[in-house]
Amino acid sequence: MNTGLTLLTLVAVVVILFIFMTIKMVNQGYTYIVERLGRYNRKLTPGLHFVFPIVDSIREKIDMREQVVPFPPQPVITKDNINVSIDTVIYFQVTDPVAATYGIADPMAAIEQLAVTTLRNIIGTMEMEQALTGRDEINGQLRGQLDEATGRWGIRVSRVELKAIDPPRSVQGAMEQQMKAERDRRAAILTAEGVKQSAVLTAEGEKQSAILRAEGQAQSTILRAQGEARAILQVFDAIHRGNVDPKLLSYEYIKTLPQIANSSSSKLWIVPTEMTAALNALAKGFGGDGDGGGKVDFGGDGKIADALAATALPDIDDALADAKGAADVAIDEAETSGRQSGRHLDPDAEIGQRPQNPTPPEFRSHNDDGTPPPPPGR
């Protein structure tokens, strides 16, 4: 009885072990290669599978995910005979697990050796400077050649990256000096360009300043000339409106004589014998009522107004308004003086305005001793 129970227990244990050995669980991202009696039978995809023990066996567990394999630095000689050290990283993925299992014995070693050989062939056609600046070109050529070679092994090379390209220390020192010289050259060029641009801008600013200054001076000269012209016209208009007579002109003439006599350049001055006739002529010229003479035509008030309008100053209306107010005051004063001087002759008011002796003294060019006579009034 005990022997039978023991045997039954042993059989149950063997059956349980057989079941456990038969059931295979394949994880996601992996593929198993199954051989039956030493020959390829099938491949197991992720999931639950039954494999008969002793008859079936698992040959390989293939990782179907993309893998990254870094390779140690490899010495490579460039076209200009410079020995450089290059680190590479390869990204690959198994696309056919059966070909990857039976197509090549050691795919990792094969990819490494193939990458080194291809890299030396590519770098050997380039100079060092081209190799340093042409990483994208090197990566593209290396990936294309590796993918073509590993395709029959069921492996796809998706990307190849060059981690570093290290030239010898002596070459690195020369390269650093060259780069420093290039940076200094570029800095000098940029500095010169900046100085040039600054000089151009300064000259342009001075040019614009000179142009604006000249325009301002020209405008100032024009405005000054217009103001003087307007003042002259207003003075003549005031004199014309004042109806000047010989009395006013005589007074102004006599008031001016001391200034003529005090001039350092005056050696001799003459008093006309017919001062009254001369003043009458001047009065006629300014519009007075002399004997036998008419007025000089100033063009009438309309033409005077047109002339004044022609000399109007632009953009200074306020200043002109102030100037016109002052001019109107001067005109009123001139008109008042003219009306007063144009009254009928008053003998009492004429005292002091006419010399006592109506006959002027005889003019003598030389004294009895031959010396010139002194100027009158001294």
List the chain pLDDT tens, one digit each, 378 residues.
577 778 888 888 888 888 888 888 899 999 999 998 889 999 999 998 888 888 888 899 999 999 998 888 888 888 888 888 888 899 999 999 999 999 888 888 888 888 889 888 988 888 888 888 888 888 888 888 888 888 889 999 888 888 888 888 877 777 778 888 888 889 999 999 888 888 888 888 888 888 888 888 888 888 888 888 888 877 777 776 766 666 666 666 667 767 766 766 666 655 555 555 655 655 555 554 544 444 444 444 455 556 555 555 455 456 556 655 655 665 566 556 545 544 444 445 444 444 444 444 444 544 555 455 554 444
Interatomic CA distance for residues 337 and 242, integer angstroms: 7
Q: Are residues 47 and 120 in the same domain?
A: no
Domain count for the chain? 3
pLDDT at 256: 72
In the chain, helix, strand, coil percent, each to 5? Answer: 55, 15, 25
Q: Are residues 239 and 314 in the same domain?
A: yes
Q: Are residues 121 and 40 in the same domain?
A: no
pLDDT at 46: 92
Q: Are residues 242 and 318 in the same domain?
A: yes
CB atoms within 10 A of CB 174: 12
Q: Are residues 344 and 313 in the same domain?
A: yes
Q: Are residues 232 and 334 in the same domain?
A: yes
Phi, psi (degrees; rounded to nearest 5) at 211: -65, -45
| Burial track 222-242 (b if 16+ CB lie within 10 A, e otherwise) | eeeebbeebeebbeebbbbbb
Q: Are residues 58 and 74 in the same domain?
A: no
Whole-number Cα distances in Å, 258 to 266, 279, 351, 356, 372: 11, 18, 21, 20, 20
Beta carbons within 8 Å of 102's beta carbon, 6+ residues apart: 40
Q: Are residues 89 and 39 in the same domain?
A: no
pLDDT at 325: 62
Nearest residue to 22 (alpha-carbon basis) of 63, 65, 47, 54:
54
Q: Are residues 233 and 346 in the same domain?
A: yes
Q: SS3 of 70, please?
A: strand
163: DSSP letter? E
Residue 245 near residue 346, CB atoms below 8 Å:
no
Residue 224 corresponds to which tokens in the numbers above? 């000054």
Q: Which residues constitute the domain of residue 34?
A: 21-65
Whether residue 30 lies inside any domain: the answer is yes
pLDDT at 97: 92
With 0.85 as the threshold, say if the pTM is over it: no
Whole-number Cα distances in Å, 211 to 115, 215, 279, 313: 73, 6, 51, 22
pLDDT at 357: 47
151: DSSP letter? G
Q: Are residues 38 and 92 in the same domain?
A: no
Interatomic CA distance for residues 272 and 363, integer angstroms: 10
Residue 88 near residue 113, CB atoms below 8 Å:
no
Q: Which helix (H) or strand (E) holds 31?
A: strand 30-36
pLDDT at 351: 45
Whether residue 245 lies inside any domain: the answer is yes
Q: Are residues 337 and 237 in the same domain?
A: yes
CB atoms within 10 A of CB 202: 10
pLDDT at 65: 92
pLDDT at 51: 87
CATH number at residue 125: 3.30.479.30
pLDDT at 295: 44
Torsion (CA) 186, 192, 197, 200 in degrees, nearest 10: -160
